[in-house]
Structure 1
Amino acid sequence: MSLSVTSRMSPIKNKHLLVLHHVVVVLLFLTQSCGGQHQMIGPTKPVVAMIGDDIILPCHLEPAVDVVDLTVDWSRNDLKPRSVYVRREGVELLTEQNPLYTGRTSLSVNKLQCGDVSLKLSTVQLSDAGTYKCLVPKFNAETVVTLAVGSVSSPVIELTNVKNEMVLECKSNGWYPEPQMLWVYSEEKLISVDPTKNVRGSDGLYSVSTKVTVEKGQSYSLTCKVQQKNISQIKEAHIHVSGDLFMVQSNTAVHITVNLAVCLITVGTAVILIWKCGQKKTKRRMMRMKMNYIKQRWRRNHTENVTKRKD
């Protein structure tokens, strides 16, 4: 009788044990996966910055966890030493930092509490362009952030008269990477467009220029465009040429020259008027002084004559 009861109870116990086994396996799996599931998340596209900017290189742990007292390492494999920023146990290790980044990098302690290890980079330089690795060794979590550095400037248009033609030269200095320059126009009246000249200076920046020649006595609306697609930058200058005269429609060198000429003429006219007024006042003052002198001489002579008569 007891054997039959035992045999009837054993399947139930086995079922309970099987359920318990599955629970333990699931818990072990969750525990193990939780220990290694932290991922480092960075931007999917390059971060673009202009020379002189202060920018943030995004990087954060997911799920969020406090990393204030953990090691955080930012580096570039193409540098020696490779360290851009190192923080261990809440202390910045400046001695390990590449001298190029001295005094220009920092992390936010408040953000570190939320797993955000984004690096602030101040006064961006051309040499900062490259691929950065963001690493938190405890979780073996890392990602890369690409920084593209650019430099732009507005183009200027200069106009020169040559016989029966006018030459318009568009210039723009201080670009990086190397830009493309082109003329945009609606009229098909252009005589010729010179090839673009690109020159790289000792500072690593590019200067570009190109000329277009147009006939006098006709009207033209032209746009000089400088663009750099890698850093998504476009700068333009517009000019309208009417006959032998020109009218600038944007802030170009011609516009500045016209305004400067008007200012100089105005100032020159004002100076001449003030000088003439000063000359007239000086003449009046001299005449008054001369008349006063004559009067004083006459009075003195008159007094002397009267005195002699009395004697």
Structure 2
Amino acid sequence: MSSSDVDGQIIVNVIQVPMCQLTNSPPNTPIIGVIGERVVLPCHVVADNIPEVFSVQWIFHEASRKITASRYDGKNKKEKQDERYQGRTEFFHSKFKAGNMSLHLKNVRSSDRGLYTCVVSFNDTYHDVLVEVELQVAAKGGVPSIFLRSHMKQGIGLPCHTAGWFPKPEVIWLDGQGQVRKELSTTKMTMTPAGLYSVVTSMSLQPGSDMEVSCRIVNSLLNTRSESRVLISGG
């Protein structure tokens, strides 16, 4: 609002600021992205009208620093990404007028997980609008392979191997009735250069026990699992 004095009269110039609010996913509801696939980080502005010139920033919070994952500058209508997001992000330009400021993230990586902030600036007409989105990432690995080691005095060695999981999965050994086996097992998980987990687990099948064995790998984040089953003959 501004005012001026003309011939003793005060003229007041009023700038109409339309109502603006932010809508997004419910609080504390993380977005889950599958590694190697695409995910949308939601950010929606509801307003009477969206001005022609505005800017959108998606900021990734990494430890003690902030990285501008992607930015759209309405003045020159160009996008700019941080080096680690180069070629992997894009905005929905055709939906800007509808208030859709979401970010399309392609080829999701394990390093992408964390907290993101959407900052929308409408020159001096609007104040900045912010929303926080937590991105969790996951991957379902391959079908586990069970190998039969030679018979040992203490039992039959059964190693099971699978790779391509994220985050660390749960390993479960089962019997023929689908019950968790009582035998002790050992599990080792290592991270591959691609940022995924490789799993090697093994157990010893005791003589006289149930000879039907399953090696189940569970990703609780994706609510999915992969399993292999073997039946060892008594001979």
> Normalization by structure 2: what TM-score?
0.76
1:149 corresponds to: 137
Q: Residues 77 and 191 of structure 1: is their aligned pair in 2 closer, same or farther, counting only changes over 3 Å?
A: closer
Q: Deviations over 1:81-115 (max 9, x none)?
A: 62111112261242xx3111111111112221211
1:11 is matched with none
Change (3 A) 1:161 1:117: same
In structure 2, the gaps of 5 or more residues are 1-13
What residue in structure 1 maps to residue 9 of structure 2?
none
Structure 1: any 5+ residue segments left out of the alignment? 1-30, 245-311
Aligned to 2:218: 227
Corresponding residue number in structure 2 for 1:207: 198
Relative to structure 1, the CA distance from residue 104 to residue 65 in structure 2 (aligned partners, 3 Å threshold; closer, same or farther) is farther
Q: Which has the higher helix share?
A: 1
Rounded Cα–Cα distance in structure 1 between residues aligned with 2:42 and 2:82 = 20
Describe the SS at the equivalent of 2:232.
strand
Mark the CA change 1:77 to 1:85 in structure 2 (over 3 Å): closer, same or farther: same
Give the whole-Å Cα distance in 2 for the aligned partners of 1:136 and 1:210: 48
Q: Does 1:92 align with 2:83?
A: no
Q: Which of 55, 65, 73 in structure 1 is aligned with 2:39?
A: 55
Task: Please give the alpha-carbon distance, in whole angstroms, between the structure 1 residues aligned to 2:133 and 2:32.
Answer: 11
| Distance (Å, rounded) in 1 between the aligned partners of 2:137 and 2:179 | 38
1:160 equivalent to 2:129? Answer no
What amino acid maps onto 1:145 in structure 2?
V
**What secondary structure, in the 3-state scheme, does the structure 2 residue paired with 1:159 have?**
coil
Say which SS state the counterpart of residue 209 (structure 1) adopts.
strand
Cα distance change, pair 53–191 in 1 and its aligned pair in 2 (3 A): closer
In terms of mean alpha carbon deviation, does 130-139 or 79-88 score higher?
A: 79-88
Deviations 1:215-272 (A, max 9, x none): 467653322121232343322222233324xxxxxxxxxxxxxxxxxxxxxxxxxxxx
C-alpha deviation, 1:120, in angstroms: 0.6
- Within the alignment, does 1:82 sit opposite 2:70 as a pair? no
Structure 2 residue 22 is matched with structure 1 residue 40 = yes
The one-letter amino acid of 1:150's match is: A
Structure 1 residues 122 and 220: CA distance shift in structure 2, 3 A: same
Higher relative contact order (CA 8 A, sep 6+): 2
Paired positions, count: 211
The CA deviation at 1:190 is 6.2
**Secondary structure of the equivalent of 1:100?**
helix
Aligned partner of 2:159 in structure 1 is: 169
Contact 1:76–1:132 (CA under 8 A) maintained in structure 2 = yes
- 1:52 offset after TM fit, Å? 1.0
Equivalence for 1:137? 121
Structure 1's 64 and 198: CA in aligned 2 closer, same or farther, altered over 3 A?
farther
Q: Which amino acid aligns with 2:45?
A: L
1:148-178 CA-to-partner distances (Å, cap 9, x unmatched) read: 1222312221112314642221112222222
Matched residues in 2 for 1:162 and 1:117: separation? Answer: 62
Question: Which has the larger Rg?
Answer: 1
Partner amino acid, structure 2, of 1:152: K
Aligned to 1:113, the other structure's residue is in SS state: helix
The Cα RMSD (Å) is 3.0
Worse overlay, 154-163 or 140-149: 154-163
